[in-house]
Chains A and B, each alone.
Chain A
Amino acid sequence: MINLRRAFLTGNEAIAEGALVAGCNFYVGYPITPSSEIMHYMARELPKRGGVFFQAEDEIATINIAIGASWGGARVMTATSGPGFSLMQEGIGYAIMTETPLVIVNVMRVGPATGQATKSAQGDLMQARWGRHGDQVAPVLAPESPQECIELVIKAFAISEELRVPVIVLIDEFIAHMREVVEIPSEVRIPIRRRPKDPSETPFGSPDPRVAPPMPPLGEGYYVLVTGSTHNELGYRDTRSFETHFKLAKRLWNKVWLNIDKLFEYEAWGIEDSEIGFVTFGSTSRSVRRACKLLRSKGIKAGYVRLKTLWPLKLDPIVELSEKSRAVIVPELSLGQLVLDVERGIGDSAKIISYGKVGGGEPIYPSELVKLASKVLGK
């Protein structure tokens, strides 16, 4: 039976707790605001539970140590923030190419460059999806509360182990440092890595595009060859042929996209009859929820779609929201990134309003959204 333990945790602490429940036994990181508390928590707790905690010399080392440890059989997590996340991108691409399970948490702060290190933002959405060079896809999850940090980190580990893919968890400084009551499950089920049954099961080939190939463990005589170069099913480099590359790139792409039903999660509220809609994710959705309730109390039918999975993305709920709504507002702690998906999804079937605001730790207040929605509707 699964018992629930109540605790009063910040988002960062909840990320760490979620990882521990999911059986994370290797943490590597480099200090960076506003993610460091995740690292502090793991430094204290992980060795007590038999896991390895390690502070690397920079984020480039971090991501590569994480990948090495994952191939060494560990269940690995790292956490960082914008500048560190940028440094990790090449390594994340390598993890995608070599099908390495791994969880990367990015606690978003104001950028670009050093920006405002202690202030919240949501400007890394596109980087989380597209930060690597080449054709690649890694799932991106976005919790909105400490409770959801626990749930989605557990889900991130489950996906990464099952699909042999790095999974990115995107939170922002508000969630990282807000403290709420959470319920922590005593145990969860994370898929166990499949080993090759016999030599016909190749480490980098799979007959079913939705299923990850088995991952040979190190040190047991599988003599696995792993490379970030284009490789065939056996792992042998082939940097010349079109066929080998196209087959590999498409398989890695399909492995995630064909599992979209398993990966994609969202929350919809009031979209059956909404005259004004919101599309949101992360901390901003807390203001959106409040604004919708305030609008309804004023007799304005408001609804929202909140994305818990940012990638791979289904546009259906956004389209559904737009069918009734006269206008769709996309509030973001950035100058507008999620709004691009909304534009892609609904075209000109409803008016789209990008409401971007970022810097100084200013949230988007419910009252601003109420005012904006009322103005848009002329009420």
Chain B
Amino acid sequence: MEFLNTKTYEEESIAMSKRVELPPIYKDIEPLLRTERFPTIWCPACGLGLLLKTFAKAIVKSEIPPEKHVVVSGIGCAGRIAGYLRIDGYHVTHGRAIPFATGIKLAKPELEVSVISGDGDILSIGGNHFIHAARRNIDLNVIIINNFIYGMTGGQLGSTTPKGAKTMTSPYGNLEEPFNVPLLAYACGASFVARWTVFHDTQLLNAILKAFEIKGFSVIEVLSPCTIFAERNNLKMLELIKMLRTRTRVKHDAPLEELMIEPDKPIILGNFIERREKPSFERSTLDIIKKLRGE
């Protein structure tokens, strides 16, 4: 029974991790990464590694100590981000990262709680939680990695798959309209709404810092290339990467209804909405408690 003698995944990855050495430019974020878990599970050329790096940099720059940061992820490739960060991290059931984070924020409002998960996790199976959390304006930083497809499960149609795109479950082209994510977030009441790609690292970093700073529901849609999406649509991965760089235009004041991602049209990026007048939900909850207790 040779298989019984094989190393566990854990031992294997620890053994492998000995080979992982980060280049000197990553010195600042190295303490925030569980490098013993490297290499990551992500495909070569996947955008998630860039997001991991940018998010870790944002933690460093936030001046909030790492122990006060919490990350909640759902299921899917993006759901693994929590497992590579050396902060308090939760990998929860599919679609439920936002309610889980809501519970944490209400129990410990002093923590900086971020949700990092995929488009399918947050907007399809978790769509109901997304709209209600935005409506309440609870102080969460929601980073939606939009790769236009369900990657981990083999490439199925999602609620952000562009019209006409091919997937395993839309082999003749997607018949559905995808979400216009910034418009949806705004309509539901989010305080901060932005869209960037993983390649716009400075702008994305600044947007994440802004999300940390704003006491309310922040949504950053992060477009990210996925080899599965490229393959299903007869694109070379490099073409997809190039598309996310060359077809994108930065326009902070773009009308939200123009932000739909459509084939052959420019993809608009920017920090679109910033509203600070709405109180955050956990603040209002605490205010009521204080008032009732005469504090």
Chain A residues within 8 Å of B, Cβ to Cβ: 26, 28, 47-48, 50-52, 54, 56-58, 60-62, 64-74, 76, 90-91, 94, 218-229, 232, 236-244
Contacts and interface: CB of A to CB of B under 8 A. Distances in A.
Contacts of A239: 9
Contact of B70 (A26, A219, A227): A219
Contacts of A229: 91
Contact of A244 (B10, B66, B91, B101): B10
A229 B93 CA distance: 9
Contact of B108 (A218, A223, A241, A242): A218
Contacts of A236: 10, 37, 83
Contact of B100 (A65, A76, A223, A238): A65
B292 A47 contact: yes
A72 B106 contact: yes
B60 interface: no
19 contacts: A28-B103, A50-B289, A52-B107, A57-B129, A60-B128, A61-B99, A61-B102, A65-B100, A67-B92, A67-B103, A71-B107, A76-B103, A222-B88, A225-B83, A226-B91, A228-B91, A237-B83, A238-B8, A244-B10
A28 B103 CA distance: 9
A359 to B, nearest CB: 32
Interface in B83-99: 83, 86-93, 95-96, 99
Dominant secondary structure of chain B at its interface with chain A = helix
A218 B88 contact: yes
A228 B34 CA distance: 19
A243 B8 contact: yes
Given A69-B104, A70-B103, A225-B83, A219 B111 contact: yes
Contacts of A224: 88-89
Contact of B106 (A52, A64, A244): A52
Contacts of A66: 103
A281 to B, nearest CB: 31
Contacts of A232: 8, 10
Contacts of A28: 103
Central interface residue in A56, A70, A73, A241, by most chain B CB within 10 Å:
A241
B285 A52 contact: yes
Interface string B161-192: 00000000000000000000000000000000
B292 to A, nearest CB: 5
B68 interface: yes
A68 to B, nearest CB: 3
Nearest to A26: B107
B67 interface: yes
A94 B99 CA distance: 14
Contacts of B66: 221, 223
Given A54-B106, A64-B96, A218-B104, A71 B90 contact: yes
A219 B112 CA distance: 9
A242 B293 CA distance: 53
A238 B10 CA distance: 6
A50 B86 CA distance: 32
A101 B67 CA distance: 22
Contact of A65 (B83, B91, B99): B99
Interface residues of B, number: 43
Contacts of A26: 103, 106-107
Chain A CB within 10 Å, residue with most, of B89, B96, B105, B288: B96
B8 A68 contact: no
A94 to B, nearest CB: 5
A201 B105 CA distance: 27
A15 B67 CA distance: 36
B101 A226 contact: no
B128 A57 contact: yes
A226 B10 contact: no
B252 interface: no
Contacts of A225: 34, 82-83, 89, 91
B37 to A, nearest CB: 7
Contact of A61 (B86, B87, B111, B132): B132
B257 interface: no
A68 B99 contact: yes
A94 B96 CA distance: 11
Interface in B21-69: 34, 37, 66-68
Contacts of A242: 4
B110 interface: yes
Nearest to B293: A50
Nearest to A51: B289
Given A58-B128, A226-B89, 13 more contacts: A28-B103, A47-B289, A65-B102, A65-B103, A68-B104, A90-B93, A219-B70, A219-B110, A228-B91, A238-B8, A240-B8, A240-B9, A244-B10
B233 to A, nearest CB: 29
B102 A68 contact: yes
Nearest to B89: A225
B218 to A, nearest CB: 18
Contacts of B10: 232, 236, 238, 241, 244
B112 to A, nearest CB: 9
B99 to A, nearest CB: 4
B289 A237 contact: no
A216 to B, nearest CB: 8
Contacts of B106: 26, 52, 54, 65, 69, 72
Nearest to B102: A65
A53 B102 CA distance: 12
A214 to B, nearest CB: 15
Contacts of A67: 92, 100, 103
Lowest 7 A-B CB distances belong to which pairs? A68-B103, A72-B107, A69-B103, A221-B67, A64-B99, A227-B91, A65-B103
Contacts of B86: 223
A218 B111 contact: yes
A90 to B, nearest CB: 6
